[in-house]
Chains A and B, each alone.
Chain A
Amino acid sequence: MNRQSPPKYLIQFLRWVCRKEVIEEVEGDLVELYILRARHSSSIARLRLFIDTVKSLRWSNLKKPKLKIYNSIMVSNYLKTGFRNIIRDINFSIINMLGLSLGLAVFILMIIMVNQEYNFDSFHTKADRIFEVVQEFDHAGEPELAAHSSILLSDALKAEIAMVENAVTAHGAASTWMTAKGERFFEEDGIVAGPEFFEIFDFDLKYGDREQVLLNSHSIIIDEQLALKMFAVENPVGELIEIERYGLFTVTGVMEKLPANSYMQFNFILSQDYEVFFEHVASWFPRWFQSWRGNPATTFVLLRDPEAAPQFHQQIEPLLRRNLGEDREINKHTLVNLLDLHFNSGHIGGNVNRFVKGDTTQVKMFVAVAVLVLIMACFNYINITTARSVKRTKEVGIRKSIGAQRRQISGQFLLESALQMLFALIISIGWIYFLVPYFNTITNFNISISLPIVLEVLPIVMLTIVLVSIIAGLYPAIYLSKFSADRILKNSMASGKGGSTMRNALVLTQYTLVIIIVATLIIVNQQYHYLRTKKLGFDSEQLLIVEVNGGGVRNNFQTIKSELLANPDISAVAGFTTVVSSYRDGTSLLAESFEISDTFFPIEFYGMDEDGLKTIDLELLPNASNLDKGLDSTSVYLNETAAALYGGASVVGERITIQEDEDSDFEFKAQVIGIVKDFHYSSLHEPIGPLVLGYLANPFEDIDDIVIRVTGPDLMSAVSFVEHVHNKFDENDVMTWEFLDDMTQRAYNSELIFRDVFVGASMVSLFIALLGITGLTAYNMITKTKEMGIRKVLGARYMQLLKLQGRSFLISLVMATLVASPIIWWLGIYWLENFSYRISLTLLPFTGAFLVVLFGTTITVWLVNHRSVKRNPVDALRYQ
């Protein structure tokens, strides 16, 4: 008889999971059945054996974990020893918990931030069906997306397009003076919205009827903060606000303050009262504004079915065709879901007051930093706990010899790590309160901490705590429970040497991370410094920029200019269409090439008056053709890059053709009267492109900025003088002004954030790493007290003893620098590729990071060891 044996792995699995009491019967019966069945077919027998095995996995058959660890008396004993240990080595405990709590705090902050960033606009119950209408405009052949559409679109959509359930028009309201109860306030954060606004969006109203608030003309809804500011009462519904130029508006509702995770930000809403808005405006503007040709507003639609969004353009094309007429080009209209706007609208222009646009790279970067910091904190815990384990070996030995099992011992240490983690969590709350303001100033995440948010992230925080206690506690638990009882009890001091490889590896990793972070900080800072201080090719110091907001200033510019120049502290004044600054763009135009007619290259245009060059101190190349002509409406300057496209210096004196777009009928012909040296008119992310400087009176743009060179030492008094002159001609607007170098810096805001985040990350990670080193050195010091004493008796000097203590750290540090270098190199190159003008990588980040960490380590080792090395060796030898 051919006796077949059943598959071994199944039987072994059974033996592994089943209790000893039942395995005899179950395994025996299963094997016997298998053999019986295998006589017919071994494959069926195997299948049946498999089924039987699975079915035998009944609760009553399974091995149970030894439940002794949950014995309440033992647990209370573990807690008691845990507490005693924390208190007995209070210094180590403080080091441990400082690191852990800081790591946790940064991590929790990160969770709150990620939670907020990924929940933008999710408080709107219909968010998945709300879409923003985006129009694709054509710019010199390039598609340009903008959240702009006609204000007539929303009503037409509601009436004619079946897939649209509801639609609303919204756009920014002019910044304006408001008078409430006799007091004047300048408010800038308003929007104008159709009556459907509160049907579509779920912004909460504290007072007022959602369906009524925007129904009547001359209605205004203000948020709770504005209500308190203007009326000093919670509920000013029914009160009147006089808006400059527009007249009296009735407060019909009070909104709650908009949540930080709202894409749209504003603090008041006006009803659509175009007749009063446009009372004093040139008549072509309101006609354009309120027509199908104009695109001044943003339309939001509520779809019946979000799946239908891709068909939107197709559906509305006939409607657009009918309203725009036959001869006009129809731009493509697409829909972007409200929930996607926060992260995916960076390329979409236009806004309703202010949109909060997120940056996934920044989010990811911060997540990475937070995770690294938490990991480093865990390493500290592991290091310090295993190092200190020497003190616990006796306890482990005794526990084991009275019958504790390894599982119980590791359970005990896991419980201890959870206990410390809980303490750390409590401390981390303090850290968070300390860190949030700093965090909000350096990043634009603007997180707020409130009860609902805390409740929302609490489960994740708890999960993190559990995970971290396991990650941080597992290795010490396994390591400590490994000691065999007889060995420990025989040589009273079992060495903690077994863990030293692990500790060295962890210190190495920590050092590597710190060096990477610090070196990156140095690179970012070098580049940022370079961006700030690079010579731009013109003098941007002490240049005051005043924006032209009203007709009063625009029309009386020459008068204002002469009044300003009367002040001795003002050396030059010029009007610009847009001031040359890395933060703002000029006017993009097309220039026709000389050789082939009707081919164009893009060119950036800035207009300025005859004092423009002098005011911003641009350098002209020596004039080859001896043309001595000032700037007027028929002449322009080119920069070197543009001149090169026209064949170099010979272009001076020639006439060039500039126009707005290729199909435009209007051509601007102007004589080139000089070449300015290339200068950085845009941010250093971009290379210098072709540029044309024209006259202030030009066919493309009107005056928008007044540029004033201030020479006096007292800049602020000059500013208030300018303000005084400005307000004589424009009493409706508050003067908006800024110094050019400040404005230039704003182009590098994201680099600034990047740098500041790294400053924070470097400090935190260095702090945690040094905490770890403090712990380890202190431990070394204790274990080597006797050795130190003996060395001292034999004549070792102070420095030699210190060196001895620091040597292993130095080795780790050198190795870490070697490991980190290629990573830093790669990261640096990768990041610097964002810039057209950038620093080249030098040795400084590498050596700098090394020296910073070396310095920190040395100081730490010195501080910790100073006393023991100085101590009388007799005390040391008496020790133990």
Chain B
Amino acid sequence: MKSNSLGEFEELVLLMVAALHDEAYGVAILQNLEEKVGKKVNISAIHVALKRLETKSFVKSRYGGITTSRGGRRKKFYVITATGKAALDAQYSLRTSIYQQIPNISFGR
């Protein structure tokens, strides 16, 4: 059985799929991610992440209509599933709970 954990990049992609709700497909995710993270991301890396998320059933996909801007190919849209949302929530609460345990330290000079 594959573990249903989330890698860092996968988590970013999943967050972006959730944020772009219903408008999330390869190129859109790429552009938004590059904007947010501020560094170059390769499209095939996103494809791989999406595929993994889909096999873990964190996202589901559907095809859009044919657009001329894509050489006649359809867009493959991704939507986050309930499991995906739950995974994000779990990740988020885990981080927050640990974060809150950090004693109040200051790094003053």
Contacts and interface: CB of A to CB of B under 8 A. Distances in A.
Given A24-B63, A24-B74, A29 B48 contact: no
B80 interface: no
A29 B71 contact: no
Nearest to A26: B47
Interface in B31-57: 42-45, 47-48, 51
B48 A28 contact: no
Contacts of A5: 71
A5 B70 CA distance: 10
B44 A58 contact: yes
Contacts of A326: none
Contacts of B44: 26, 52, 55-56, 58
A5 B71 CA distance: 8
Interface in B43-93: 43-45, 47-48, 51, 63, 69-71, 73-76
B27 A33 contact: yes
A31 B48 CA distance: 18
A36 B75 CA distance: 15
A11 B30 contact: no
B74 A28 contact: yes
A5 B26 CA distance: 19
A35 interface: yes
A823 interface: no
Nearest to A52: B43
Contacts of B71: 5-6, 11, 27-28, 31
Contacts of A28: 26, 70-71, 73-76
Given A35-B69, A36-B27, A55-B42, A29 B47 contact: yes
A60 B51 CA distance: 9
Is the interface on chain B under 10, 10 to 19, 20 to 34, or 35 or more residues?
10 to 19
B43 A31 contact: no
A511 to B, nearest CB: 56
Interface string A25-67: 1111111110110000000000000011001101011000000
Contacts of B30: 29, 33
Given A5-B71, A11-B71, A35-B69, A29 B26 contact: yes
A62 B48 CA distance: 13
Query: Chain A at the B interface: mostly helix, strand, loop or mixed?
Result: helix
A322 B30 CA distance: 83
B63 A33 contact: no
Nearest to A6: B71
A105 to B, nearest CB: 52
A241 B13 CA distance: 90
Nearest to A30: B43
Which of A22, A26, A29, A51 has its CB near the most chain B CB atoms (within 10 A)?
Answer: A29
B20 to A, nearest CB: 14
B51 to A, nearest CB: 6
Interface residues of A, number: 23
Contacts of B43: 29-30, 33, 52, 55-56
Contacts of B45: 55
Contact of B73 (A31, A33, A51, A56): A31
A33 B69 CA distance: 9
A664 B26 CA distance: 96
A5 B75 CA distance: 18
B35 to A, nearest CB: 14
Contacts of A11: 71
B69 A32 contact: yes
A24 B45 CA distance: 16
A51 B43 CA distance: 10
Contacts of B42: 51-52, 55
A24 B76 contact: yes
A58 B44 CA distance: 9
A27 B26 CA distance: 11
A200 to B, nearest CB: 60
B76 to A, nearest CB: 4
Nearest to B71: A31
A29 B63 contact: no
A28 B27 CA distance: 9
A28 to B, nearest CB: 3
Nearest to A25: B76
A11 B73 CA distance: 12
B47 A22 contact: yes
A24 B76 CA distance: 8
A22 B45 CA distance: 14
A32 B26 CA distance: 10
A31 B70 contact: yes
B64 to A, nearest CB: 10
A61 B76 CA distance: 15
A82 to B, nearest CB: 41
Contacts of B73: 24-25, 27-28, 31
B107 to A, nearest CB: 40
Contacts of B51: 22, 60
Contact of B27 (A22, A29, A55, A56): A29
B27 A25 contact: no
A201 to B, nearest CB: 60
Contacts of B70: 28-29, 31-32
A61 B43 CA distance: 13
A26 B43 CA distance: 9
Interface in A43-98: 51-52, 55-56, 58, 60-61
A6 B25 CA distance: 20
A11 B48 CA distance: 19
B26 A25 contact: yes
A371 to B, nearest CB: 46
Contacts of B74: 24, 28
Contacts of A25: 25-26, 47, 73, 76
B71 to A, nearest CB: 4
A32 B73 CA distance: 9
A52 B46 CA distance: 11
A26 B27 CA distance: 10
Contacts of B25: 25, 29
A112 to B, nearest CB: 50
Contacts of B26: 25, 28-29, 32
A142 B83 CA distance: 94
A537 B62 CA distance: 102
A41 to B, nearest CB: 16
A558 B76 CA distance: 113
Interface in A403-430: none
Interface in B10-38: 25-27, 30
Contacts of A24: 63, 73-74, 76
Nearest to A11: B71
A535 to B, nearest CB: 85
Contacts of A51: 42
A25 B28 CA distance: 13
Contacts of A36: 27
B72 to A, nearest CB: 8
A56 B50 CA distance: 13
Contacts of A58: 44, 48
17 contacts: A5-B71, A11-B71, A22-B47, A24-B63, A24-B74, A24-B76, A28-B70, A28-B71, A28-B76, A29-B25, A29-B43, A30-B43, A33-B43, A52-B43, A55-B43, A56-B44, A58-B48
Ranked 4 nearest A-B pairs via Cβ: A28-B73, A29-B26, A31-B71, A25-B76
Given A25-B76, A27-B73, A33-B43, 11 more contacts: A5-B71, A22-B47, A22-B51, A25-B25, A25-B73, A28-B70, A28-B75, A29-B43, A29-B47, A33-B27, A61-B47
Interface of B: 25-27, 30, 42-45, 47-48, 51, 63, 69-71, 73-76
